[in-house]
Structure 1
């Protein structure tokens, strides 16, 4: 559907006045009409233009781009419409993802990135490390992966469970050269524990935590060198257990379950490059 010039004009007035209410008052228009027409414009373009709050509005990245183009002679308005719509429908540009550092080095995530870059070579992946929930719209980030122990900053964002990850205790044969294998939780409290930040928040106070890191690779290397007992995701280290490099500790007693959640701003306005990553993540984790 072709975007209406009237709707574009109302959007431009809203940006110039810094809000829907101010624009409506300045031009003797109904606030509800301007809001409704801008929603229709967003629907026609297939992307969100404004972040609406109680007191003001903010432009999304697409909103800034669109306003930059339409604030030109009328002959360039069609070009702006086509540009924004094509961006939503193209496997090109940048896809920004916020991922916990602990997850970055996992073989599961590396396989996902490898498959995506092979299928969509014209998309640049911009991966940032974030432990906390972030405002995706304001920071112009398409997707975020978070464990369920972190509250999502915006309850209106889409949240989809990808997988439940069991985390268990492991030590190495080298560690057992100096220490006996604990057989009870009481005995475990005497041993140095190596863990991720997420897991550390769920441990009993008496636990002797000696290292907290976002890097599972680092935790694994220190564990294999005999520096302590680690809490690691089962799914990422099954091969190490099978090879004998890691030895389960209290496998019938201790386990922490963390659910990984995929977060993105909206179901309505999803660029095709973002939707492709969402589907790839679902497919990979469904295994």
Structure 2
């Protein structure tokens, strides 16, 4: 489907007048017709151009690119359309991916990145460290990975849960040599614990908490240094267990599972570079 010049003109009017209603009023058009034609334009270009709110509109990155070109002589319009189609359908450009610092630095995520950059060398990866959900369209972020306890601020976004892991208790061999290994929950109460604020709520009342941090790497590091027993996602501790830096204790006790949620704005306008990353993530963690 090719973009209609009439629809491009309505798009330009909407941006110039700061909203769909304003453009419709000034030019004697029905608001519903303008809105419908803008949706057809987005469908034809396979990307979102406008972020619609109750009072006004904002341009997406693609919307700004298109408006910048169609504000020029009409000969640039086809160039703008071809440029958008190329960006959506080709495996090149920039992919911005946001995740927690602990997940970005995990060995399994590094394996995904290695596979991606090897297969798609023309895509530039930008990693953004974020602990909370953000408006992906306004922040110009293609994908976000968040633990399941974080609330997604925009429920219209696509959300896919793709990794589940139990939480376990981990301590360094040196710590266990200096302190007797706990054999039950009552003995665990005598040890210093290292945990996130969410996992702290899972611990029994009266637990001795030495460190609370949202950075899993910091909890793991302090546990490796012998500063206490860390409550951590089991799947992210495999490397440290294999290296002998940590030992899991009270293996028969499982705390609440942790899951990772993959968030992106839309299935309908998903660029191929983004789709490729989604596919790799799901394949990798399905194996895990």
Alignment deviations for residues 246-270 of structure 1 (CA, whole Å, 9 cap, x no partner): 2222211242311111000001001
- Alignment check: 8 A CA contact 1:94 1:124 kept: yes
Question: Normalising to structure 1: TM-score of the pair?
Answer: 0.95
Write the distance in 1 (CA, Å) between the matches of 2:168 and 2:162. 19
Q: Secondary structure of the equivalent of 1:13?
A: helix
- Which deviates the most, 219-228 or 113-122? 219-228
State yes or no: 1:66 paired with 2:58: no
Q: Which residue of 2 aligns with 1:250?
A: 250
Q: Which residue of 2 aligns with 1:142?
A: 142
Write the distance in 2 (CA, Å) between the matches of 1:105 and 1:8. 44
Q: CA deviation at 1:138?
A: 0.6
Write the distance in 2 (CA, Å) between the matches of 1:144 and 1:138. 13
Alignment deviations for residues 77-97 of structure 1 (CA, whole Å, 9 cap, x no partner): 111111111111121111001
Write the distance in 2 (CA, Å) between the matches of 1:159 and 1:250. 33
Write the distance in 1 (CA, Å) between the matches of 2:214 and 2:249. 21
- Alignment check: 8 A CA contact 1:97 1:126 kept: yes
Write the distance in 1 (CA, Å) between the matches of 2:130 and 2:119. 26
Q: Which residue of 1 aligns with 2:153?
A: 153
Alignment deviations for residues 8-66 of structure 1 (CA, whole Å, 9 cap, x no partner): 00001000111101111111101111001000100111100001111111111110111
Write the distance in 2 (CA, Å) between the matches of 1:275 and 1:69. 27
Q: What does residue range 47-196 of structure 1 map to in structure 2 within 5 Å?
A: 47-196=47-196
Structure 1 residues 206 and 69: CA distance shift in structure 2, 3 A: farther
Q: Which residue of 2 aligns with 1:269?
A: 269
Write the distance in 1 (CA, Å) between the matches of 2:130 and 2:202. 19
Write the distance in 2 (CA, Å) between the matches of 1:2 and 1:276. 25
Write the distance in 1 (CA, Å) between the matches of 2:202 and 2:102. 16
Structure 1 residues 271 and 201: CA distance shift in structure 2, 3 A: farther
Q: Secondary structure of the equivalent of 2:173?
A: coil
Structure 1 residues 216 and 88: CA distance shift in structure 2, 3 A: same
Q: Secondary structure of the equivalent of 2:168?
A: strand
Q: CA deviation at 1:139?
A: 0.5
Write the distance in 2 (CA, Å) between the matches of 1:70 and 1:125. 29
- Alignment check: 8 A CA contact 2:202 2:255 kept: no
Q: Which residue of 2 aligns with 1:27?
A: 27
Question: Normalising to structure 2: TM-score of the pair?
Answer: 0.94
Structure 1 residues 202 and 157: CA distance shift in structure 2, 3 A: farther
Q: In structure 2, list runs of 5 or more residues that go unmatched.
A: none
Q: CA deviation at 1:204?
A: 4.2
- Which deviates the most, 33-42 or 222-231? 222-231
Q: In structure 1, list runs of 5 or more residues that go unmatched.
A: none
- Which deviates the most, 102-111 or 254-263? 254-263
Write the distance in 2 (CA, Å) between the matches of 1:61 and 1:206. 51
Structure 1 residues 202 and 131: CA distance shift in structure 2, 3 A: farther
> How many pairs are equivalent?
287
Write the distance in 1 (CA, Å) between the matches of 2:262 and 2:71. 36
RMSD of the TM alignment (CA)? 1.6
